[in-house]
């Protein structure tokens, strides 16, 4: 544990799109048409605005139930596909979102910026997002086509559909026992403006519109949902939960509000409450893959890997091409120690979606852990090529270079990661570790200080800074930092034995031996404890002491038996000293 570096696992927790119109313009006339006509019109509008033969990705259309969403996605794909004017990437239906910011899957919302990122991953020129709303006197379909390169809005389409349309009635039949929300023109205008502002990440303006809509209609559950989602994104979790809860008081079967409140609880690390909300959503919509996915992810964070895998399995049974579930199941298998199955899941995800950066990084991490640094770097190179702004790809490649002994290249990658994300704490601590290994202790301390500004409870920053002070011979400061690390994590083997080393170097052999004895009582098979105790016994006396030398020999032998290779050379040295003093 010479370098205390962390491989960042990418557990994909993402968001799903809804449709947005231009602020101030709903783009809707009041004529009611059939669902088939709305789909056909949407294809015509988009095809007129998008360059022919462009690759398009149709994201999941947000709807009250997953079965409705899947139907609309299939219909839109069929509407675009046969004409040949645009090339529909079918995989876009399965890769709902790829978000680098570790978010939980939330049905209903995504910004244009995130949609563009998804398009880059998919290799699409245009991304189409959308939503379907079901009201008392009509239903509304919205579509939005976004240029992946420029983020420009290429086309927006919306239509009002007759609720008695036979196709629509068949699709929405599972909703027939639910009360339909009543919507008025003024409320709908504010609601659509708010969603459009959300798409542009203008959250302050969006909240103003949702506030206006709610001031007119206090029972507008969508207003609470969307406003709560913005609060959650802005980490105002209590207000978010309050809004989601209000929406659920209006409609206890509001699946999106259950998901929104669930992932907000998850971000707050209220995992049991999150699981309760996701489970409630699944009682209403058993085939809701996102709820299964999110609940599985929360079980992962709780360390309940078997239940996590069960949920990912259930999601994959519904959608075998759900690459995000494959990615997360692979990470779960890895944490269970089932490396072969983890690799199979990453490979399968990348077979379906070769540009899935998260799976590339996770597979690279797997190779890195197994010492296959060349293959790891190959995966990280591919991730960087696909998405040059992914800080974690640079970070993890830096880790692979570091473990391979290429410190200069590791520092370059850590620098690149920090240029993209200056708040990436582990990049500071890891770069600090590299500087320690290079003997540049002053720079290591600077990096650890930077990490502690971001996270005052960073165990790694205290540990690595303590190691730097040790290298500089500032033993009291080293012990202080290592004590701080052990206060944060009393089980840190790295910090514990660094402190033992400091005691030895400081000449406090009895304290070093005492610490080793304590560890041996707790973990009798811990090779490192015998190794360092042997070191302390060997160095304890300025002159040869047979009793302490014999103890050192015994400890080195035990450490070697338990698998500590460094003990071999020290054992030979102690035996030579024993022979010289016979």
Three-class SS of 464-483: HHHHHHHHCCCHHHHHHHHH
pLDDT exceeds cutoff 50 at 451: yes
For residue 57, name the pLDDT band (cuts at 50, 70, 90). confident
The reported pLDDT for the residue numbered 29 is: 53
Look at residues 235, 238, 277, 271 and name the one whose alpha carbon lies nearest to residue 256.
277
pLDDT band at 15 (very low <50, low <70, confident <90, very high): very low
Domain residues for the domain of 204 are: 32-302
- The answer to whether residue 262 sits within a structural domain is yes
What is the phi/psi pair of residue 133, to 5°?
-115, 140
Dump pLDDT digits (tens) for 324-348: 899 999 999 999 999 999 999 999 9
Whether the per-residue pLDDT at 95 is higher than 60: the answer is: no
Grouping H, G, I as helix, E, B as strand and the rest as coil, residue 161 is strand
Query: Confidence class of residue 26 from pLDDT cuts 50, 70 and 90?
Result: very low
276-324 residue pLDDT tens: 999 999 999 998 888 999 999 999 999 999 999 999 999 999 999 899 8
3-state secondary structure 488-515: HCCCCHHHHHHHHHHHHHHCCHHHHHHH
Rg (CA), the chain: 29
Write the DSSP string, 303-354.
Answer: T-HHHHHHHHHHHHHH-TT-HHHHHHHHHHHHHHT-HHHHHHHHHHHHHH-T
- Looking at the chain, the whole-number percentage of residues with pLDDT higher than 70 is 90
pLDDT band at 19 (very low <50, low <70, confident <90, very high): very low
pTM (two decimals):
0.78
As beta bridge partners, residue 99 has none
pLDDT of res. 3: 33
Dump pLDDT digits (tens) for 270-287. Answer: 999 999 999 999 999 998
- pLDDT value at position 5? 39
Q: Is 355 helix (H, G, I), strand (E, B) or coil?
A: coil
The phi and psi torsions of 389 (rounded to 5 degrees) equal: -100, 15
Burial 39-74 (b: 16+ CB within 10 A, else e): bebbbebbbeebeeebbbbbbbbbbbbbbbbbbbbe
Percent of the chain whose pLDDT exceeds 90: 67
33: burial class by Cβ within 10 Å (0-12, 13-18, 19+)? middle
Q: How many domains does the chain have?
A: 1
- The predicted structure's pLDDT at residue 111: 66
Per-residue pLDDT tens digits for 355-375: 888 999 999 999 999 999 999
Tell me if 157 is assigned to some domain.
Answer: yes
Per-residue confidence band for 142, with pLDDT thresholds at 50, 70 and 90: confident
Under 8 Å between Cβ of 184 and 138: no
Could you tell me the CATH number of the domain that includes residue 132? 1.25.40.10
481 with 429: CB under 8 angstroms? no
Which pLDDT belongs to residue 552? 95
According to DSSP, the residues that pair with 15 across neighbouring strands are 106
Mean residue pLDDT of the chain comes to 88
**pLDDT number for residue 482:** 97
Residue 539 lies in a domain: no
Q: Does 60 reside within a domain?
A: yes
Residue 234 belongs to a domain: yes
Q: At 123, is the pLDDT very low, low, confident or very high (cuts 50, 70, 90)?
A: confident
Are 82 and 93 spatial neighbours (Cβ–Cβ below 8 Å)?
Answer: no
Residue 110 has pLDDT above 80, yes or no: no
Q: In what order do the strands lie in the sheet with 55-58?
A: 32-33, 153-161, 139-147, 126-134, 55-58, 87-88
Token pair for 56: 């398009």
For 160-214, write each residue's pLDDT tens digit. 999 999 999 999 988 888 878 889 999 999 998 998 888 778 999 999 999 999 9
90 falls in which pLDDT band (50, 70, 90)?
low
Q: What's the angle, vertex CA 30, arms to CA 142 and CA 46, rounded to 5?
A: 35
Residues linked to residue 58 through DSSP beta bridges, in sequence order? 128
Q: Is 328 among the domain residues?
A: no
Structure tokens at 226: 């969307």
Q: In angstroms, rounded to a whole number, what is the distance separating the alpha carbons of residues 406 and 434?
A: 10
pLDDT at 97 over 70: no
How high is the pLDDT of residue 102? 33
CA atoms lying within 13 Å on the CB side of residue 188: 22
- Residue 43 within a domain: yes
Least confident of 123-127, 453-457, 471-475: 123-127
State which of 96-100, 149-153, 405-409, 543-547 shows the largest mean pLDDT. Answer: 405-409
Closest listed residue to residue 316, CA positions, set 363, 352, 272, 274: 352
Q: How many residues does the chain have?
A: 582
Cross-strand bridge partners of residue 144: 129, 156
Structure tokens at 444: 């290591």
Is the residue at 506 inside a domain? no
Residue 178 has what DSSP assignment?
S
pLDDT digits (tens, 9 = 90+) for 70-82: 899 889 988 987 6
More confident residue, 99 or 123: 123
* 150-166: average pLDDT: 90
- Of 302, 251, 256, 311, the C-alpha closest to 281 is 256
- Buried/exposed code over 403-432 (b: 16+ C-beta within 10 A; e: otherwise): bbebbebbbebbebbbebbeebbbbbbbbb
Q: What is the pLDDT of residue 178?
A: 80
Q: What are the C-alpha distances in Å from 396 to residues 99, 360, 365, 409, 444? A: 17, 11, 7, 12, 19
* pLDDT tens per residue across span 221-260: 999 999 999 999 899 999 999 999 999 999 999 998 999 9
d(CA 324, CA 274): 19
Give the mean model confidence (pLDDT) for residues 98-116: 51
Q: Side-chain half-sphere of 373: how many Cα atoms within 13 Å? A: 11
């Amino acid at each position: 544990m010479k370098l205390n570096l962390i491989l960042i696992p990418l557990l994909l927790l993402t968001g799903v799109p809804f449709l947005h119109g231009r602020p101030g313009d709903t783009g809707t006339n009041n004529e009611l048409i059939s669902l088939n006509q709305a789909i056909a019109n949407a294809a015509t509008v988009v095809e007129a605005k998008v360059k022919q033969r462009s690759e398009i990705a149709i994201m999941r259309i947000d709807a009250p139930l997953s079965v409705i969403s899947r139907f609309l996605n299939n219909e839109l794909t069929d509407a675009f596909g046969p004409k040949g004017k645009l090339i529909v990437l079918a995989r876009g239906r399965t890769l709902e979102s790829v978000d680098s910011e570790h978010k939980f899957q939330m049905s209903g919302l995504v910004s244009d910026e995130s949609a563009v990122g998804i398009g880059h991953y998919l290799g699409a020129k245009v991304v189409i997002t959308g939503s379907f709303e079901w009201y008392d006197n009509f239903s509304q379909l919205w579509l939005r086509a976004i240029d992946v390169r420029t983020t420009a809005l290429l086309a927006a389409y919306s239509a009002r559909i007759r609720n008695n349309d036979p196709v629509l009635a068949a699709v929405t039949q599972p909703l027939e026992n639910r009360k339909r929300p009543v919507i008025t023109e003024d409320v709908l205008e504010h609601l659509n403006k708010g969603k459009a502002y959300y798409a542009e990440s203008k959250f302050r303006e969006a909240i103003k519109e949702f506030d206006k809509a709610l001031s007119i209609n206090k029972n507008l559950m969508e207003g609470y949902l969307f406003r709560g989602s913005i609060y959650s994104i802005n980490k105002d979790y209590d207000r978010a939960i309050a809004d989601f809860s209000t929406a659920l008081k209006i409609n206890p079967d509001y699946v999106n509000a259950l998901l929104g409140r669930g992932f907000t609880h998850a971000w707050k690390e209220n995992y049991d409450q999150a699981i309760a909300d996701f489970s409630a959503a699944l009682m209403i919509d058993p085939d809701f893959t996102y709820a299964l996915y999110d609940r599985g992810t929360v079980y992962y964070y709780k360390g309940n890997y078997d239940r996590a895998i069960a949920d990912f399995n259930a999601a994959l049974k519904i959608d075998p091409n759900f690459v995000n579930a494959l990615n997360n199941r692979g990470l779960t298998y890895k944490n269970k120690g089932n490396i072969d199955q983890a690799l199979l899941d990453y490979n399968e995800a990348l077979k379906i979606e070769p540009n899935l950066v998260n799976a590339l990084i996770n597979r690279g991490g797997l190779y890195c852990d197994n010492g296959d640094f060349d293959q790891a770097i190959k995966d990280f190179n591919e991730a960087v090529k696909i998405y040059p702004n992914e800080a974690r790809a640079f970070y993890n490649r830096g880790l692979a270079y570091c473990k391979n002994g290429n410190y200069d290249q590791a520092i370059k990658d850590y620098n690149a990661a920090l240029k993209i994300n200056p708040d990436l704490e582990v990049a500071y601590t890891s770069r600090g570790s590299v500087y320690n290994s290079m003997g540049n202790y002053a720079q290591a301390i600077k990096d650890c200080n930077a990490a502690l500004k971001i996270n005052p409870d960073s165990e790694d920053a205290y540990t690595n800074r303590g190691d730097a002070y040790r290298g500089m011979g500032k033993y009291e400061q080293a012990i202080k930092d290592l004590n701080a690390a052990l206060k944060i994590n009393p089980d840190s083997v790295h910090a514990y034995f660094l402190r033992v080393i400091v005691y030895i170097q400081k000449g406090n052999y009895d304290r070093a031996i005492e610490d080793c004895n304590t560890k041996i009582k707790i973990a009798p098979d811990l090779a490192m404890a015998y190794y360092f105790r042997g070191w302390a016994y060997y160095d304890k006396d300025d002159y040869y002491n047979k009793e302490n030398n014999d103890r050192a020999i015994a400890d080195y032998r035990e450490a070697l038996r338990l698998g500590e290779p460094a003990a071999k050379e020290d054992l030979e040295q102690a035996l030579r000293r024993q022979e010289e003093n016979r």
